[in-house]
A and B are shown apart, each in its own frame.
Chain A
Amino acid sequence: MQTLFQEILEAIVAFLLLSGVSGLALMAKGAFVLRQLFRQNPREDGVSLLKSRLAPAVSVIAAPLDAGVESRARVRLLVGLQLGNHEVVLVLSGPGDADLTAWRQEFHLEPSLRRISGSLPMGDVRGVLESRDPIRLTAIVLEPCSRGQALNAAVNAAQCPVIGLFGDGGEFDSEALLRLIRPMLEDPQGTIAVCGMAPAATGAGLVSQFAALDFLRAWLSRQAALSGWNLLTPAPGSAVLIGRESIIKLGGFRAGALDLVLRLHADARASKRAYRVAFVPGSGCLQRRPRSLAQLRSEIVRDGQGVARAVFTAGALPWWLRCGMFSVRFVRPLLETLAYVMTVAGLAAGWIRWPLALLVLLSTAGMGMLVSMAAVSLRELAEYRGSDPARLAQLFLAAVPENLGFRQLRNLWLLALWGKRADW
């Protein structure tokens, strides 16, 4: 019994070490891809793109959940995006009278006689509103429906060949569209989608530092490295551009941008045609930092559930990647937690000795620190300009407390609600 116990623990340790080493390798690949991308696109051609009639028009679609100040400010930012030709299509799913009044007052919306029709399944249209201001904003009021149906209504109403979607968990500057559209201009036929996302500046608190480290690791491995193999999927809060025709061909949204991009991958892979989902790290779209532990928890759980969607969407990603994602987001937290419990129990029962306990600590917290510290250093070296050394050192050292307490808590969060499939 004692031998078996010891052997199981040793096998778990071996798995955890191997998983950590693969994580390091993946981040190194991500750093190389990022450096290449930053080298390719340093030009600021915004003015030429802004003036040109050849740049495709973009319909930015949004389906805010409420009419709060933050949601309205966000739509105003979408209206203020810079591009020669862009419109905003706002979908309000089952809004109350107060919410509708707030939207009407904010953008001076008036009833329009325009009718929304299209091939995509959407919610029942209660009315269409258009802004009296000199802005291209159409609001579609729907009976309560799913997010997928709401987004489909926006696609049906969109008048431009490219659809833009800015994730709720992200911030963006007004030139984001000008940067995101570039890959579509470089290869209009082959580029089926563009995703843009980068880490925001780190705050001072520990929660902010932990969030920054978590995002950095995911950004280098799941975003940058996978984009190097053309297996990119949008992260929470990403800005995404997709051709309207591609969306219609796939039958529209079912949940959100993640599901759609996964199905785009599956469709393109099944048809065996050359395609590209482009990554624009310098698009000006940044992930918003959680302000509290509760926000961080919900972000981490949501991200984990997004991974679950990627793992269970058939044909979207190759089997080895799905296995890897499954092991990173579910098997590793499970085995790590199990290893801690077994180590404590084993030490108490005298079944294992201190060297094995140390090995468990090394393969979990020790490896975690190395991976986080590597993420900070690799990201820094991938970019062409330097960062503030004090902030950099702070983030680097935050990897120590992150792995002595927060990591274990994070494992429990990931295990708690893993089965659900989130989208953004």
Chain B
Amino acid sequence: MTEAALRVAALLMGVYAIVILALFAAALIRGLRWKEQTRLTTELLPQIRTSLVDYLAGNDDLEPLRRFLKVSRSDVLSAILSFQSAVSGSARDRLCGLALDLELLDEWRRDVRSRDVARRRAAFAVIAFVYAFEPCRRAVGDLLADSLEDRDWEVRVCCAQALARFGSPAEVVAIFRIATKENLLTRILLAEPLRPHALELSKAAVPDELRSGDAARVLAALQIVVAWERALPLAGLDEWMLHPEPEIRIQALRAAPLVTASRENELSVMQSLADPDPDVAMAAAAVVGRLQILAAIPLLVQCLSGGNSALARTAAAALAALPPQGWQTLEELAAGGDPTTVSLAEDVLRRVRPARSK
């Protein structure tokens, strides 16, 4: 019985050992390849970058770059990508033009159909970069727009970012709509390339989303407006400051300093100071300071003594941002009364006093 069990166990473990050794051998071979690739990259990358700089400086000789392409295509690709945030204008066009001159674009277009995820993503990343150059845009065609529904989130975001930066006005609006429907991370990543189009979008696309009736889309549109941090001609924001959803009220309040000032907005901000949700009231208190709404000082005093410590701190900070009336109020509060309010007022005053003496 024991001998038989020993044989079975030894056999089973032998099989496991063979599988594990095979896995280890694969890992070892990959490690060796990776080491060799790293060595090659360390050696080649500075040379490729020098050649690229020469080319961007006006040297039309493409022979060195063609040579590098034969040795390591991936290094040439990463060198091109490493320049994307460093060049603009005609230099960027020249860099993008390399994709056509070195006949790389066709190869990348083949790579986007690869089953290797890393290869696909790399191909999409460079295509998205060269999309900045009009001749490349024509050559790429609808590839990026067609890939907006790709199964890979990474590819979708990459394509959407490129279209938001360099696409047609209709494509920009489409990307804005996608941004309002996707998760917060995608929205953050798309808000930045959409920022240059904020003014155009705020004329129709943003109001359309705000009037969609879907709370999630309204919230998303307001979040994008907040993320842009640009002055926008958006009217009727007061309506959203009084929305039943607290999160929408908060975002609308955060957007208030970015839109055209109006009496309605100021009234809604003041009304929000008495909101039952302390987070909304805090957002309102923060806005009062930025919009310099002096009429809100009595309401800020109420927030200060309301019992919620976080709201009281924000209200005190808002009063400090409203000199000289706000400071006078703080001095009065510091003179006596509830000890918590006194210490808060003193604390804030101590911070603003040096600025005041200057």
Q: Which of B2, B23, B118, B184 has the most C-beta atoms of chain A within 10 angstroms of its own C-beta?
A: B2
A45 touches B2 (CB 8 A): no
A185 to B184, CA, bound (A): 5
With beta carbons under 8 angstroms apart, the residue of B31, B32, B183, B227 that contacts A185 is: B183
Nearest CB of B to A93, in Å: 22
A49 touches B188 (CB 8 A): yes
Please report which residues of chain B, range 304-358, place their CB below 8 angstroms from some CB of chain A when the two chains form the complex: 309-310, 313, 340, 343-344, 346-347, 350
Q: Are A363 and B9 also in contact (CB < 8 A) when A10-B2, A376-B24, A386-B35 are?
A: yes
Closest to B334 in A: A113
Nearest CB of B to A247, in Å: 15
B189 touches A386 (CB 8 A): no
With beta carbons under 8 angstroms apart, the residue of A24, A117, A358, A386 that contacts B16 is: A24
Please report which residues of chain A, range 130-166, place their CB below 8 angstroms from some CB of chain B when the two chains form the complex: 159
A52 to B229, CA, bound (A): 9
Q: Are A186 and B27 also in contact (CB < 8 A) when A10-B2, A359-B2, A367-B13 are?
A: no
Chain B residues, CB < 8 A from A2: none
Please report which residues of chain A, range 344-369, place their CB below 8 angstroms from some CB of chain B when the two chains form the complex: 353, 355-356, 358-359, 362-363, 366-367
B24 touches A396 (CB 8 A): yes
A48 to B309, CA, bound (A): 32
Nearest CB of A to B12, in Å: 8
Prevailing SS type, chain B contact patch: helix
Chain A residues, CB < 8 A from B20: 370, 373-374, 377
Interface string of A44-79 (1 = CB under 8 A from B): 010011011111000000000000000000000000
Nearest CB of B to A75, in Å: 23
Q: Is B211 an interface residue (CB 8 A)?
A: no
Chain B residues, CB < 8 A from A366: 13
Closest to B189 in A: A48
Closest to A366 in B: B13
Q: Is B33 an interface residue (CB 8 A)?
A: yes
Please report which residues of chain B, range 1-29, place their CB below 8 angstroms from some CB of chain A when the two chains form the complex: 1-3, 5-6, 9-10, 13, 16-17, 20-21, 23-24, 26-28
Chain A residues, CB < 8 A from B165: none
Prevailing SS type, chain A contact patch: helix
Chain B residues, CB < 8 A from A377: 20, 23-24, 26-27
A48 to B185, CA, bound (A): 10
B154 touches A43 (CB 8 A): yes
Q: Is B187 an interface residue (CB 8 A)?
A: yes
Q: Are A380 and B31 also in contact (CB < 8 A) when A51-B192, A53-B229, A186-B183 are?
A: yes
Chain A residues, CB < 8 A from B17: 370
Please report which residues of chain A, range 191-239, place their CB below 8 angstroms from some CB of chain B when the two chains form the complex: none
B23 touches A378 (CB 8 A): yes
A386 touches B346 (CB 8 A): no
Extra contacts besides A380-B27, A392-B28 (16): CB < 8 Å: A48-B188, A54-B226, A112-B347, A114-B313, A185-B183, A353-B2, A358-B6, A376-B27, A378-B23, A380-B24, A380-B31, A381-B23, A385-B34, A386-B30, A387-B31, A392-B27
Report which B residues bind A (CB closer than 8 A). Answer: 1-3, 5-6, 9-10, 13, 16-17, 20-21, 23-24, 26-28, 30-35, 117-118, 121, 153-154, 157, 183-185, 187-189, 191-192, 223, 226-227, 229, 254, 309-310, 313, 340, 343-344, 346-347, 350
Report which A residues bind B (CB closer than 8 A). Answer: 6, 10, 13, 17, 24, 39-40, 42-43, 45, 48-49, 51-55, 112-115, 117-118, 159, 182, 185-188, 353, 355-356, 358-359, 362-363, 366-367, 370, 373-374, 376-378, 380-381, 384-389, 392-393, 396
Q: Which 9 A-B pairs have the closest CB atoms?
A: A386-B34, A380-B27, A185-B185, A113-B347, A377-B23, A386-B31, A389-B31, A113-B343, A377-B24
Please list 8 pairs of residues, one from A and one from B, whose beta carbons are closer than 8 Å in the complex, sorted by A's number. Answer: A10-B5, A53-B227, A113-B344, A358-B6, A377-B23, A384-B118, A386-B30, A388-B31
